[in-house]
Structure 1
Amino acid sequence: MKTMQWLVKREMWEHKGMLFWTPVVEGAVMALFAATMLLLALTGDDLHATLTVNGSSGSVSHVVGDALGNRDLSQTARLMANTYMTAASPLFLTLGALVFFYCLGALYDERRDRSLLFWKSLPVSDAMTVLSKAGMALAVAPAIVVAVGTLTSLLLLMMLCALLAANGVNVFGQLLATPDLYLTPLRIAALLPVYALWALPTVGWLLMVSAWARSKVLLWALGLPALTVLLAVWANKSFNLMLNTEWFMEDVIGRVLLGVVPGYWFLFDRTQRQAMSESGANALTSADLLSYSWATLGGVSVWIGAAAGAAMIYAAIKLRQSRAEC
């Protein structure tokens, strides 16, 4: 256990700029931009119109409209408590890119700079090393982004409440008394196991390519799936094989390349996507998001993909054992 902890710390030391400082800086920029927009709104004649003109999200404009329209503040507070984590959406989208490029270079970079020879001289197995990198991608990096996203969202929420208070509408009391204010971050954190299972095929594929490719690792990671799709389409049309190429592109290639994008499971699981659309996007709360996300684990496809991802991680371990340099 201590060996794995030190390996994870090593990964954090080596990739702190990518996995830690990138979301922190992005969150700070988001907060600064939001503060600027809210200050402009505060000095404007029409708060609601100013927020809308400056491109604020529809949920923010809706909340401001309800509050300034002297509607039920408790209902407005519940809406704010349930939706304020959506402000961190850019951070969650960035998570997909961070995990993708981290995995892509995780095993290739150490061969390219010859540091692999040093690490292999230590009493640490290849399996432990590869698993520590997979753990960084599937657990540590998402947890960091969730933490930064929560802090950023809370800061933006407090800014909005302060702006409303400056305009004579005080929702602090109702908001702080709303349980969803405290439960929403916990619900987002509860999605981490779901994310890990759906991201496993992509993480496994990228680690395997990273351990195998001798150069141009990005080209191999994207080119092989693209070539497979082209060959499938060509064979289907040339030999009239009646293959479902659309299913192959969406359910196989899509999962291999896009699994690290948070929320991708809703694009893949048609049953839950339909249930969400029937419930109404405007009525979707953090509790609904948690429920629908965990419901996707009831299908067999997620477990098949997870098994395939685990097999590719095993292949990455074997490839690392056999390759000491590019």
Structure 2
Amino acid sequence: MAETENQSGSSPEDDASQLPANPTFMIPKKEISMVLDMGKWKRSQAYADYMGFVLTLNEGVKGKKLTCEYPVSETVEKLLDLLGTLDRWINETPPVDQPSRFGNKAYRSWYAKLDQEAEALVSTVLPAEQQAAAPEIAVYLKEAVGNSTRIDYGTGHEAAFAAFLCCLCKVGALRVDDQLAIIFKVFNRYLAVMRKLQKTYRMEPAGSQGVWGLDDFQFLPFIWGSSQFVDHPTVEPKHFIDEKVVNEHHPDYMFLECIKFINEMKTGPFAEHSNQLWNISAVGTWAKVNQGLIKMYKAECLEKFPVIQHFKFGSLLSIQPVKP
């Protein structure tokens, strides 16, 4: 992957090679139980690895279209199959009739299937010598699709999917060459499945800040999507609120796919239902938008206790402090 330094100075591909010969995997668990624990998270190896992963991918997609050419490895194909299975289960688990409009209880049946099958699904993606990692990595997959009690989904769940991909890099299942495919194929397919879940089961936004949040459900595709636009010859930030531009360019750009989904799901003036994005459209360059969104992601998601209290730590994403 592109050599982007994170706070600890490592990039994801270094991490895979740093695994001990016989690593001891563990079931990830919550470690952040009160606001005072947030310092532990920000000093942790997990935070450094996670942020390094996000920034490395951000660098890698700079100026590239979704439709550009890149290698697609066997592991990426297997991940697409895994996501295809989740998609198929939605078709097999239609919403039930219920009085309340939101939070369709059929989601719980869909989730129960994933809960049961997650480890087996992850095993299909891992190389033979890393099968022992399946129980640890499967936890992040289960965390990545929403909460079955509250029937909601938000940026914490999205972060769990990025953590899932980061773990696959750390055990060497995903490699340097997979960088573009990780976002353009795998993460994009994940977004499509999550949008289908959100629509089918009318999931509530988890911890939504309403009109003051960037988006009800996602954040990372705005970061990586704005990086795709850096130095674009014609499309400027002010153009993404123009429906004609969105309709013309959305197959190439993740950012516009997000805007298209918002336009489909919300009614009324864009400035009212998506005020933060409206404000972002006034920023002069995509490079500035990208840097601003990274800062906002840290402040609004990764440094917010209600989001991070649910994050789970194991051997691959460790709560231990970064080694000096």
TM-score greater than 0.5 by the shorter chain: no
Q: Of the two, which has the highest radius of gyration?
A: 1
Greater helix content = 1
Give the TM-score normalised by the residue count of structure 2: 0.28
Give the TM-score normalised by the residue count of structure 1: 0.28
